[in-house]
């Protein structure tokens, strides 16, 4: 009986394996099959839906199975989005743009860059319309650039001002005996504050309030110009939630019309000047990019290299999600060794991370500057280690809403000595020398704390000197604006941490000016080589680990999980943004 049971189990298992293999072969055949060619028809409307994750740089996998196994994870590159909008302005087949997006998976600086590009598109004389069943704050900010903004009769505009929330864990640590030992420099360096106290410090509250107001002022000013509503009135709308239903949005001029989706489509047909009975030709942003419109082509031999440094800074190779010194140093060397490369733009979008990796990248920029100019363009965030790798560029250009600064460092070690004591676990150490050491099962010793503190102070002093030299400031001035404090780009230009306000294009123009060239193209770095075997080892068949966790935990809980995982994986002294920021 047991033999038969095992036999049937083996047969059944074999059939399942054959079925999976057959399905895999079909999918692989599809991946290698003919790719559907995107055709942009005459009298088309370009539809902007920005639900996909937007990264500054999102190159496609060179592996033909990349899309199949979600290696590209449905990401959109900001550079391609901006190029597509610019190309649409010159494309005779595109008559206008329709903004039709609720969720925008982009940071505020990225969103502002897209909005500014749409403003430039309007100079072509083509129309921009916007429609949504409801607008959240991000989607409304972007959509407010449109000539006409429309809303579903049952919709609303969630216009309420900016807010952020930080969780504090001190009571949790005391209750369960699991805590972090922290050594830091910088009164504003509050990345570790949630592990030291159960309430926000006045210094932290001061800096958060300051940069939130700075960002809000930028957003409100942009909306005010486009919608011709005073800043005072917009703040009153936010204070009293005067966008909470469709009628109020119309009364307060947040929108131009209250219509259903089919009525909005008729308005697009009228704008394109086709009969209502005809079908509207529309092309999605992703399809438009796929048609080749995500590039600005140039035959110029001279090149400006754009090196994208995006994500947390780690010691090691790095990848599309992380800045590793190996990847960035290799890109810097390749760019400067190319005879066609006349200048480099380092696009930084990072909250920081490993101080050692940051310093190694800083050093390579020093070597690069001796041969060709280096200009930094700051994205959503270029703080702490992100500022460290920026500070010695020939010029630094930031978006007004960029979060930068945070010149400070910290060290953090997990400790479960209280928990292990409660559980009756006793750890005994044997060693050959008396040098200070650390065990998570024992309270931190004064000697080890002193040694770690010395290391933190040494990194902070080096950081100050790097900034002082790079920005041509004295140490005292840098220290006064450092202390781990966060600034927006608009604030940083006033204290000398950045040179100009502008976007990536402005940085490229600046780099070309420093190089003394006027006719040039751009070349993007680094190239990411995605290993299929490595990817498959992390994926349960074709669904990504990230997607499964989001489905199980929900988006908000998944963010908490990612934050805790990131903190638990930190090694060495950190030059990292004071806290994990989610602005709502």
Q: Please give the helix or strand (H or E) that residue 376 lies within, else none.
A: strand 374-383
Q: Which string of b and e fits 548-566 if b means at least 16 CB within 10 Å?
A: eebeeeeeeebeeeeeeee
**pTM value surpassing 0.85:** no
Task: Answer whether 493's CB lies under 8 Å from 500's CB.
Answer: yes
Position 304 scores a pLDDT of 97
Which is catalytic among the residues 143, 350, 384, 406? 384
Q: How far apart are CA 102 and CA 85, in angstroms?
A: 19
- In the chain, CATH 3.90.226.10 covers 44-160+241-293, 303-428+435-576
Residue 189 appears among annotated catalytic residues: yes
Query: Which token pair is 10?
Result: 């083996």
DSSP letter for each residue of 48-63: E---SEEES--PPPSS
Q: How far apart are CA 466 and CA 566, in angstroms?
A: 26
Position 557 scores a pLDDT of 56
Task: Answer whether 453's CB lies under 8 Å from 444's CB.
Answer: no
Q: What is the largest CA-CA distance in the chain?
A: 88
Helix (H, G, I), strand (E, B) or coil at 130: strand
* CA distances to 14, 20, 75, 518 from 536, in Å: 21, 15, 19, 46
Position 194 scores a pLDDT of 85
Task: Answer whether 376's CB lies under 8 Å from 507's CB.
Answer: yes
Position 329 scores a pLDDT of 98
Residue 384 appears among annotated catalytic residues: yes
Which is catalytic among the residues 117, 126, 189, 293? 189
CATH annotation of 303-428+435-576: 3.90.226.10
Is cis: bond before 526, omega within 30 of 0? yes
Q: How far apart are CA 57 and CA 80, in angstroms?
A: 8
Q: How far apart are CA 382 and CA 407, in angstroms?
A: 11
Q: Write down how long the chain is.
A: 584
pLDDT beneath 70, residues of the chain: 1-36, 60-74, 186-191, 529-584
Position 35 scores a pLDDT of 47
Task: Answer whether 358's CB lies under 8 Å from 392's CB.
Answer: no
Task: Answer whether 488's CB lies under 8 Å from 207's CB.
Answer: no
User: Whose CA is closest to 523, among 272, 343, 267?
Assistant: 343
Position 30 scores a pLDDT of 52
Is cis: bond before 390, omega within 30 of 0? no
Position 542 scores a pLDDT of 46
Q: How far apart are CA 346 and CA 386, in angstroms?
A: 11
Q: How far apart are CA 83 and CA 526, in angstroms?
A: 19
CATH annotation of 44-160+241-293: 3.90.226.10
Position 34 scores a pLDDT of 44
> Which residues sit opposite 378 in a β-bridge?
348, 398
Query: Which token pair is 492?
Result: 């940083």
């Amino acid at each position: 009986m047991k033999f038969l049971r095992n036999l049937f189990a083996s047969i059944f298992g074999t059939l399942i394996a054959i079925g999976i293999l057959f399905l895999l072969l079909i999918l692989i055949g599809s991946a290698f099959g003919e790719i559907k060619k995107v055709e942009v028809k005459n009298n088309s409307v370009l539809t902007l839906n920005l639900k996909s994750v937007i990264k500054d740089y999102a190159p496609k996998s060179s592996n033909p199975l990349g899309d199949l196994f979600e290696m590209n994870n449905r990401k959109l590159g900001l550079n391609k989005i901006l190029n597509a909008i610019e190309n649409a302005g010159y494309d005779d087949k595109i008559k206008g743009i329709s903004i039709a997006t609720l969720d925008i998976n982009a940071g505020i600086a990225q969103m502002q860059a897209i909005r500014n590009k749409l403003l430039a598109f309007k100079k072509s004389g083509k129309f921009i319309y916007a429609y949504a069943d409801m607008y959240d704050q991000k989607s409304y900010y972007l959509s407010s650039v449109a000539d006409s903004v429309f809303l579903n009769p049952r919709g609303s505009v969630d216009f309420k001002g900016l807010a952020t929330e930080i969780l504090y864990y001190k009571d949790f640590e005391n209750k369960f005996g699991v805590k972090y030992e922290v050594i830091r420099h910088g009164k504003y360096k509050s990345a570790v504050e949630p592990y030291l106290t159960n309430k926000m410090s006045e210094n932290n509250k001061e800096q958060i309030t300051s940069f939130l107001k700075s960002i809000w002022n930028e957003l409100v000013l942009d909306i005010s110009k486009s919608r011709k509503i005073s800043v005072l009135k917009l703040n009153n709308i936010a204070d009293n939630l005067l966008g909470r239903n469709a009628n109020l949005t119309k009364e307060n001029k947040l929108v131009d019309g209250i219509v259903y989706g089919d009525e909005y489509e008729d308005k697009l047909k009228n704008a394109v000047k086709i009969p209502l009975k005809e079908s509207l030709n529309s092309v999605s942003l992703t399809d438009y990019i796929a048609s080749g419109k995500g590039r600005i082509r140039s035959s110029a031999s001279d090149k400006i290299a754009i090196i994208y440094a995006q994500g947390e800074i780690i010691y090691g190779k790095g990848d599309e999600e992380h800045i590793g010194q190996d990847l960035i140093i290799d890109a810097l060397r390749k760019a400067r060794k190319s005879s066609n490369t006349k200048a480099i733009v380092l696009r930084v979008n990072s909250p920081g991370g490993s101080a050692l990796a940051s310093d190694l990248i800083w050093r390579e920029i020093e070597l690069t500057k001796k041969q060709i100019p280096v200009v930094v363009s700051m994205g959503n965030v270029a703080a702490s280690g992100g500022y460290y790798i920026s500070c010695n560029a020939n010029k630094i250009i930031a978006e007004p809403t960029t979060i930068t600064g945070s010149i400070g460092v910290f060290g953090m070690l997990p400790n479960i000595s209280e928990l292990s004591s409660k559980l009756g676990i006793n750890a005994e150490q044997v060693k050959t020398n008396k040098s200070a050491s650390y065990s998570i099962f024992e309270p931190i010793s004064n000697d080890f704390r002193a040694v770690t503190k010395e290391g933190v102070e040494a990194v902070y002093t080096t950081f100050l000197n790097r900034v002082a030299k790079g920005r041509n400031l004295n140490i005292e001035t840098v220290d006064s604006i450092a202390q781990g404090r966060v600034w927006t780009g608009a604030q940083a230009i006033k204290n000398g941490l950045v040179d100009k306000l502008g976007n990536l294009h402005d940085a490229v123009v600046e780099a070309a000016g420093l190089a003394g060239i006027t006719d040039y193209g751009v070349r993007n770095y680094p190239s990411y080589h995605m290993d299929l075997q490595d990817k498959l080892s992390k994926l349960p068949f074709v669904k990504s680990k990230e997607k499964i966790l989001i489905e199980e935990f929900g988006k908000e809980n998944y963010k908490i999980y990612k934050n805790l995982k990131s903190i638990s994986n930190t090694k060495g002294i950190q030059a990292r943004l004071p806290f994990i920021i989610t602005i709502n």
